[in-house]
Each structure stands twice: as structure tokens, then as C-alpha cells.
Structure 1
Amino acid sequence: MSTQGSVTGKVVVGIDGSEASTQATRWAARLAAQRELPLYIVHAYGLLGRYYGELPISSGVFEAVEDEAKTLVSAAAEAARAEAPGVEVEAVVIDEPPVTLLIKLSREARFVVLGASGLGGFAGMLAGSTAVGLAGHGECPVVIVRHREGQEQPPADGPVVVGVDGSPVSERAIAAAFEEASFRGAPLVAVHAWLDVEYESAFNRARVFFEGGPLQQDEERLLAERLAGWQEKYPDVAVERVLAKDRPKHELLERSATAQLVVVGSRGRGGVAGMLLGSTSQTLLHHAQCPVMIVRPGKNRD
């Protein structure tokens, strides 16, 4: 059985043998090729219970699980090399709980990539518990690979869309989105929602009725200021600014139908203190029609 090695600067992808994880592996391989980074494929099976009641699980059970795991990572490595020939691929099997292991790997990885739902996941295209747990705790950008309903593969064209709300983590999301758009040769759509807090109030509902007044001008200025320095750094990226009189999750979810990637901070300025994921990032994880990159405070892209 392979053991964990260094993942510094690598693209890490977690697999479980599901079709969603196969899609994530191929997506991660293309990302690694774009960035000229190694790809680290990991299957964590996390056998936490070594006993069944009073009886220990036999060694034969563990051997069978490890053999199956090795078969999974071998197939994933083959799929990755076929998708992105020339990319350096390492595939490992580790006996740790998936979320715990992936969070640990995220401390040194460049990106961690997962499928939207794995084996045992819920029907209806909802994100699995591993994806939600990692998105809430990962220390590097976490990508959950999603696709359009009725399609088998995630989209490979369209703009990169980023949610902008003026919070510190939103600044990190903007940086990540410009970088992604530049590497992909894609335009960037920067969305700043007019109702940019994640709860309803009489004040927010009233703001909808102001058209072109001081409040709207303030929001336009905020968006322009947040993008200015990045547009200078990435002059090759065509930027569309969108000021939406809506809650962020509604506008970003709609934009995901034509995007190749949506980038958001884990929680914005309207989030509830202490929450690891805001309602916008939660909604996108479960319902977006393209891959979603969650950027959290901390290391990320310093």
C-alpha cells in the first residue's frame, strides 16, 4: 500500500471510484497540465472501526479493502495520464478518514479537487459530505467538479465567474478568478449583488426600488475599486462587470449555467459569524451547473 508523501505545490484529487470522482480526476489532470504542476491522486478509505462488536475484523477484510483501493487509484492514474499526457502523476492509498486527510493535505497543496458527490451520496446532484466538509475547512482553494443537468462532463468553455462583495475572502476569490481566467484564456464576469447580504431585511428590500441613485453608485464604485488593481495585473483578461439587484446565490447560480468555473469566497461579509460556509457557497456546492472553486481565509494564494 502506498503511503502519504509530500504534496507541496501539487494538485490533489480525492477519489472513491464513483463516476463523479472520475470526472474530478480528469478535470484535475487538465488543471495540473495548465499549471505545469504534479497531480496527486489519493483514495482514503478510513477504516475507523477495527472491531465489530466484541470481535476484531479479520486481516483478510483489510487486505481486500486495500486491494480494491489500489485498483481504484491505478485506474484513476491511467485516466489522468490519458487526459493530460506528460503530467507527473502519483497515486496513493491511505487508511485515514477522507475529510481529515484531505484537510491535512490542503495545508501544502496548490488545489484540492473533488467530485460533487461520491459513492453513497444523495440523489439529485447534491454535494456529498466530504465535499462540504473540505470546502468548509480546506486551507487551499477547493474545487468541487459539477456539470450541467443532462450532461456527463463538466463544461470546458465559457467565462470564469467570480462573486465580489468587498470582504477580505472575496479579495482572495478575485485574485484566484483572475488567475484562472488568464490561464484558461477565458473572459471574467465579476458579479456584485445589490442585495449583498445573506439575510432579508426591510432595508434590503427597500434598496431594490432605488435605480441609479447614490446607493447604486456606491455599489458600482465598490466593484470598480475591487477590480482595478487586478485588471492592471492581468491586462489579457477581458472583464465584464455585473451589478445585480439580487442576492448573490441567485445571480451566481444563474451565471453557472453558461460558465466554465465559478469562484467564491467561503463566506462573505453578510455571513453569520462562526459559519464556515455562507449560504452562497453552500448553494453553489449543491446546485451549480459548472465546477465551483471555494476560496477560504488562510493560506490559499498568498
Structure 2
Amino acid sequence: MAEKIIVGVSDAPVSDRAVDWAVARGRARGQSVELLAVVGGVVGAVGEATVLEQALLSAEAMLDAQSARVGESFATTVVAGNPVSHLIDASKDAALLVIGSDYRGPGSGPARGAHGIRIAAGAHCPVVVVPDRERGDGSGVVVGLDGSPVSERALAFAAAEADRLGEKLIAVSVWTPLTAPRNTLAVYPELYLTNMQATTEELQAVALAGLASQYPDLVIERVVERGYPSHVINALAAGARLAVVGSHGRGAIARFLLGSISHEVLARLATVTAVVR
């Protein structure tokens, strides 16, 4: 298994936070950290070579500055081309890919752009997205569970991180009543609502059944609610140290699209968030 963490670094302030997160994780897990900078916008224009050469040198200096700031020597790579493609390709040989997001929360402007979402959708390993703001006193690791195989992998990642960090695991399962054109008032039989809640609780219990033996000291908080998954997950993630969601598969289309839930969680990034497939 690859034990390398790759961090996508740019000149954006959030890169410091992404590097710091990766370094802390690498030290705790015995993983090496590699910094990758991509100089984009290359089109082959006349006179571009001189500009590109200077840009590559500046990128190398930027990575060296990160090493000096942290006080640790990193393997570094600087390439020119499409940042999304290069980061996705780099993820083939990584245990984890870490990128920053310039999203600073509600009221701070646009949410995370398409590049970060495409990287998370197309990567070959789990992707951690670090927001550009202080994490404060958040506690707990939130994980979304829906009974699918990918949510099982998200749970495995989240449980390992919660155990490593000494944090409680907050398992979240959300059910949404079916919608129908004639049911605009959202009036549902009580029996249906009760059974939806009970069924979701049972699915979550099955998913969590083996964790106690694997992590005997892990505290697990179970949350089963009616609502919309990304809203509930982000509401809980706002007070958490880490959130983990699953993404369904890759492929020609999946490379550009996440599942709607993981996409929406990243679009309104509440805390450091891992996307697992």
C-alpha cells in the first residue's frame, strides 16, 4: 500500500493549512509527505518559454519556502500543465491527496470552484480538502453512512482517523421521504415515517457492528435524522474536527462529477473534509 501523502500547493494562503494538516497526519501515521506544484495556463504561445521557465523557478522556490516554514525536508515536484490532470495522475501513487479550498464559509463569496470538485471526483485515492479558515475548537469526526459499499469505506477511514486523533466518531445517517407531485403539502402517514426512521437506524447499526472489537476505546455517537443528507452532515461538521463522505466510483463522467451529496458537502465546506471512494 502506498504510504505517501501528496499535497497540492499553490501561492494561495490556504496552502499553508493544507501542508500543516498533511504533515501532522504524516507524522502520526509514519507517512512521507510530497509537495506538488503545477504551473497552469501553458498554451505554447510564442515567447512563452521564457515566462514558463521563470514560473517553474518561482514554483520551486515556493515549495522550498514551505519546507523552511515547517522545518522539514520534503520531496517536491514542479510540473507545467493542467492542475486537475496532474493532481489526479499523482494520486495513483499516493495513500492520500491533500488540497486546499479558498472557501471561507457562508457569506464569504463563492464556494469551492470546479477544479477542487473535479480533483476529488477523479482521484485514485482519498482526497482531503482543507478550508481557508481556523478550525477552532471543533471536536469529533463526522461520517455519512447510507448502507452502500462506498460508505463502508468512508466509515473505515473515519474510524481510523477518529481513533488516531482520540476523537469520538459521529455516525450520521439521513433519510428523506419520497416526493410525489400530489404530495406538495408533505403530509405522510405516521407509520411510513416511523418505519423509515427504524429502517435507517437498523442499517446504521449493521454498518457500525464491527467497530467495537476493532477500536475498543472509540466513542461512537449515532445520529439518524429525517432531512437532506448534505445539510445534516454539514451542520454537524461545522463543529467537528473532520468530516468524511463517500463518492461513488470513477470513470469518464465521474471524473468531473461527484455524487450529489459529496459534491454539496464540498461546495459548502464546513471543516476539513475527506472524500473516500
TM-score w.r.t. structure 1 length?
A: 0.80
Q: Which amino acid aligns with 2:95?
A: R
CA contact (8 A) 1:267 1:281 kept: no
Change (3 A) 1:206 1:31: farther
Match of 2:53 among 32, 51, 63: 63
CA contact (8 A) 1:144 1:292 kept: yes
Q: Which amino acid aligns with 1:281?
A: S
CA distance in 1, matches of 2:226, 2:189: 6
For structure 1, list consecutive stretches of 5 or more residues without a partner in the other structure.
1-6, 297-302
Q: Over residues 99-144 of structure 1, what are the superposed CA-to-partner deviations in whole Å (9 max), with x where a residue is unaligned?
A: 11111111120110000139xxxx6252133211111111111011
For structure 2, list consecutive stretches of 5 or more residues without a partner in the other structure.
none
Match of 1:115 among 100, 105, 113: 100
Q: Percent identity?
A: 31
How far apart are residue 33 of structure 1 and its match?
1.2
Is 1:190 aligned to 2:171, yes or no?
yes
Match of 2:38 among 44, 62, 66: 44
Structure 2 counterpart SS, 1:73: helix
How far apart are residue 220 of structure 1 and its match?
1.1
Change (3 A) 1:267 1:201: farther
CA contact (8 A) 1:140 1:295 kept: yes
Aligned to 1:14: 8
Aligned to 1:78: 68
Number of matched residues? 267
Match of 1:278 among 247, 259, 268: 259
CA distance in 2, matches of 1:233, 1:125: 41
CA distance in 2, matches of 1:156, 1:11: 25
CA contact (8 A) 1:116 1:285 kept: no
Aligned to 1:160: 141
Match of 1:26 among 15, 20, 24: 20
CA contact (8 A) 2:15 2:99 kept: yes
Structure 1 counterpart SS, 2:227: coil
Matches within 5 A, 1:202-241: 205=186, 209-210=190-191, 213-241=194-222
Change (3 A) 1:28 1:46: same
Change (3 A) 1:32 1:201: farther
Q: Which amino acid aligns with 2:3?
A: G
CA distance in 2, matches of 1:207, 1:11: 48
TM-score w.r.t. structure 2 length?
A: 0.87
Task: Supply the RMSD in Å over aligned alpha carbons.
Answer: 2.7
CA contact (8 A) 2:118 2:257 kept: no
CA distance in 2, matches of 1:32, 1:38: 6
Range that drifts further, 153-162 or 255-264 = 153-162
CA distance in 1, matches of 2:158, 2:145: 11
CA contact (8 A) 1:45 1:96 kept: yes
CA distance in 2, matches of 1:250, 1:209: 23
Is 1:288 aligned to 2:273, yes or no?
no
CA contact (8 A) 1:195 1:245 kept: yes
How far apart are residue 50 of structure 1 and its match?
1.2
Q: Over residues 71-110 of structure 1, what are the superposed CA-to-partner deviations in whole Å (9 max), with x where a residue is unaligned?
A: 21111222333xxx6xx62122112321111111111201
Match of 2:113 among 128, 146, 153: 128
Is 1:104 aligned to 2:98, yes or no?
no
Q: Which amino acid aligns with 2:43?
A: G
Q: Over residues 158-213 of structure 1, what are the superposed CA-to-partner deviations in whole Å (9 max), with x where a residue is unaligned?
A: 000000001111111011100110111100000000228xx844789566855883
Structure 2 counterpart SS, 1:259: coil
Structure 1 counterpart SS, 2:210: helix
Q: Which amino acid aligns with 2:16?
A: T
